[in-house]
Amino acid sequence: MTSSGSARLGSSWRNLWAAGGISSLGDGAYFAAVPLLAVSFSTNPRLIAGVATAAFLPWLLFSLHAGALADRHDRRRLMWTAQIVQAVAVAAVAVVATAHLHQIWVLYVASFALGSAETVFSNAAQSVLPSVVPPPLLETANGRQYATETVTNLFAGPPLGSVLFAIAPALPFWLDAASFVVSVLLLTRVRYRPDFEPPAARERRPMRYEIAEGLRWLLRHRLLRTLAVLLAITNMAGSLANSTFVLFAHNQLHVGSRLYGVLLATSAIGGVLGGISAQRTVRTLGTRHAIVAASGLGAGSAVLVALFAHNIYVMGTCLALAAFSATNWNVATVSMRQRMIPDYIRGRVNSTYRLAAWGSLPIGALIGGFVAADWGLRAPWFVAAAMRLAVFVTAAFILRAADFTDAEAARQPESAPVAA
């Protein structure tokens, strides 16, 4: 990142960026270590997939409520409160690892708590960014955040987590807990100016009415509604394949605990390149073509894994391609949503969108566990490849350039409607 670019984005964004990068480093260590800890408890694919299911299930249950909270309260405060909860949950896993308590249900509970707090944090973080940086710089800010978080979450974190786990199983979890604490301190330094004033407690309508308003807004928006459905299928496919990936890596690729984190880190190469290039890709190809191209590349990477990934080199290349495509998709679509959705309802619309996108993850993880148990560890990749190819073909045919142009032109004003 250049100093001039950082200066344009402002000091509050730098604190937000640093908080995300530091907590992502801890998360990378955690996500490499938790399946290794789970495998030490059980090798049953259904039970291993259950950890991922528990982590993603809150998106299905609480995403809409998290969006309503983001439009009711100080979004910065919601972010650091959620991370305090996450620090406590990860510390509990560290205690379990230290005490050698071979109870996999504890991982389910901790993963569920982490996922529940993440719904609040992530919805607030996406909703607050347009109030921290100017709209024309959203692709730049999102691209740099995705690139940095990819380096820490996928490149530095997983190998660090694997090495620390090999030394002492509790170490990567203590590292993650500490990263959340540092992130909280940085988030308290973020300043932002929302385009609306959250209603006072006595003026708020029941939450179900506020949630319904966000749901209706998204359902009436043809482009964002379509993208939400396509992303839901894409994420379900990814979760279906990745829920038993630790077993696939051990049994099919013959990767040990130390190399497992290195294999995960190969995603960082594609993710960083995607974050750096996303802004230029969107400007050169246009948002529509950038999204379709990302979908096609992601589908291709899944096909390559299903057919040809029999060693760490091919698998690493495919993971890098998948991360590159995912980052380009995210930067293009998230920046577009942040500009299109009015601030007063941004949290609720984002949460509805992410309910579709992330709510499909526990479903995919659950299906993946059963598919792997019944048809083998490579079978989920064939199913995922078929699903992602279907998304690519659908996106290429139904997403029209005019949809994007019309949606940007019809961007609504940044103020709440006045009650009659």
- Nearest CA among 380, 112, 358 for reference residue 240: 380
CA 175, CA 163: separation in Å to the nearest integer? 12
Q: How far is CA 147 from the centre of its chain?
A: 13
pLDDT of residue 417: 41
Instruction: Give residue for tokens 């059980």.
Output: 42
Instruction: Judge whether 251 and 377 are in contact, CB under 8 Å.
Output: yes
Give Cβ neighbours of residue 409 (< 8 Å, ≥ 6 apart): none
Domains in the chain (CATH in brackets) are 9-190+206-409 (1.20.1250.20)
Burial 163-175 (b: 16+ CB within 10 A, else e): bbbbeebbbbbbb
Instruction: Give residue for tokens 């299109």.
Output: 340
Instruction: Judge whether 5 and 140 are in contact, CB under 8 Å.
Output: yes
Instruction: Judge whether 240 and 384 are in contact, CB under 8 Å.
Output: yes
Torsion sign over Cα 33, 38, 43, 46 = negative
Residue 408: how many other CB atoms lie within 10 Å: 13
The CA distances from residue 357 to 95, 253, 324, in Å, are 32, 30, 18
Beta strands in 318-412 (DSSP E): none
Using DSSP's 3-state secondary structure scheme, residue 170 falls into coil
Rama region for 191: left / alpha / beta (φ>0; ψ in -120 to 50; rest) = beta
pLDDT of residue 413: 47
pLDDT of residue 117: 92
Q: Tens of pLDDT along the chain (420 residues)?
A: 444 455 577 788 888 888 988 988 888 888 888 888 888 888 787 888 788 788 888 888 888 888 888 888 888 889 989 999 999 999 999 998 888 777 788 889 998 999 899 889 988 888 888 888 887 788 888 888 878 887 787 778 878 888 898 899 899 999 999 999 999 999 988 887 766 566 655 566 777 888 888 889 999 888 999 999 999 999 999 889 988 888 888 888 888 767 777 787 787 788 888 888 887 888 888 889 999 999 999 999 999 999 988 888 999 899 999 989 998 898 888 888 888 888 888 888 988 888 888 778 888 888 998 998 889 899 999 999 999 999 999 999 998 887 787 766 666 444 444 333
Instruction: Judge whether 70 and 130 are in contact, CB under 8 Å.
Output: no
Instruction: Judge whether 119 and 205 are in contact, CB under 8 Å.
Output: no
Sequence length of the chain is 420
- Nearest CA among 370, 390, 55 for reference residue 234: 390
CA 55, CA 46: separation in Å to the nearest integer? 15
pLDDT of residue 163: 86
pLDDT of residue 420: 30
Residue 193: how many other CB atoms lie within 10 Å: 7
Residue 182: how many other CB atoms lie within 10 Å: 17
Residue 411: how many other CB atoms lie within 10 Å: 12
Instruction: Judge whether 236 and 364 are in contact, CB under 8 Å.
Output: yes
pLDDT of residue 45: 79
